[in-house]
Structure 1
Amino acid sequence: MIGIDIVAIARISKLRARYGESFAERFLNKDEINLAKTDSTLAGFYAVKEAVSKALGCGISSECSFFDIEIYKTEKNAPKIKLSDKLKQNFKVSQADVSISHDGGFAIAAVILR
């Protein structure tokens, strides 16, 4: 299953300016917030979570919440994702790969679930 999402970094900047630091708490856990120091990283993380939900074919919903998807980084700073047991079982996913890129005021994420 493949999912892709693109987010305008300016959109994230506006939401963060409007809601403050609590904005990130709507879709990231504390560890993810600590990793996301810039608006471009926040946009990339948002895109990852949307891309996962698209790959699953359900969108962000009761079947797949933002908090069922955790983003972390390797020692070499490569992004990785961990899915909740609920997602792994309900959608029969055993492996998840992700790529995030930022350019031209946009963040894009591509996710492959197997």
Structure 2
Amino acid sequence: MIFGIGTDVCDIRRIRRSVERHGERFAERILGPQEMAVWRARSARWPERGLRYLATRFSAKESFSKAIGLGMVSPMAWSLCEIVNQPSGQPAIVLHGALKEWFEARRLHAHITVTDETDYAATFVVVEHLTTPP
């Protein structure tokens, strides 16, 4: 059964301005440890690709927070939600700490898709309530 749906469109130019204004501090506020490592590696090699990565993660976390119905209110926190790529390249949500506990206590499971094109990143999240174990 569907618990919630969230979507977000992010202007990559806005993310670029935030990084120019705040530097790495902006990324540190948004990204978890695994994401931060990927962002640094991509930014070092292809700065534009690093910005796109950061924008998709920002957008994905916005979508996820909408799908679970919390917005950016505890236990939802930027760093407790990471969007990682599985070996196939498919994105997946990995939760930590209080957010993971909250999510698991409700027997929820999330599906996510991310995309970017020129100036925009877009994401879509469906959270379902599991009636049987995954």
Q: Common fold, TM-score beyond 0.5?
A: yes
| Residue 37 of structure 2 corresponds to residue 23 of structure 1 | no
Question: Counterparts of 1:1-114 in structure 2 under 5 Å?
Answer: 1-36=4-39, 37=42, 38-84=50-96, 85-89=100-104, 92-114=106-128
RMSD: 1.5
In structure 2, the residue corresponding to 1:2 is in which secondary structure? strand
CA distance in structure 1 between the aligned counterparts of 2:36 and 2:79, rounded to whole angstroms? 12
- The structure with the largest alpha-carbon Rg is 2
> Which structure 1 residue ranges, 5 or more long, are not aligned?
none
Q: CA deviation at 1:76?
A: 2.1
Q: CA deviation at 1:27?
A: 1.3
Q: State how many pairs are aligned.
A: 113
In structure 2, the residue corresponding to 1:59 is in which secondary structure? coil
TM-score (norm 1): 0.89
1:5-51 deviation per Cα after TM superposition (whole angstroms, max 9, x unaligned): 11100000010011111210001112101223311110000001010
How high is the sequence identity, in percent, across the aligned residues? 29
**Structure 1 stretch displaced more, 24-33 or 9-18:** 24-33
CA distance in structure 1 between the aligned counterparts of 2:104 and 2:109, rounded to whole angstroms? 12
TM-score (norm 2): 0.77
Whether the 8 Å contact between 2:116 and 2:122 is mirrored in structure 1 is yes
Q: CA deviation at 1:80?
A: 0.7
Runs of 4+ in 1 over 2 A off after TM superposition: 83-87
Amino acid at match of 2:114: I
> Which structure 2 residue ranges, 5 or more long, are not aligned?
43-49, 129-134
Whether the 8 Å contact between 1:68 and 1:87 is mirrored in structure 2 is no
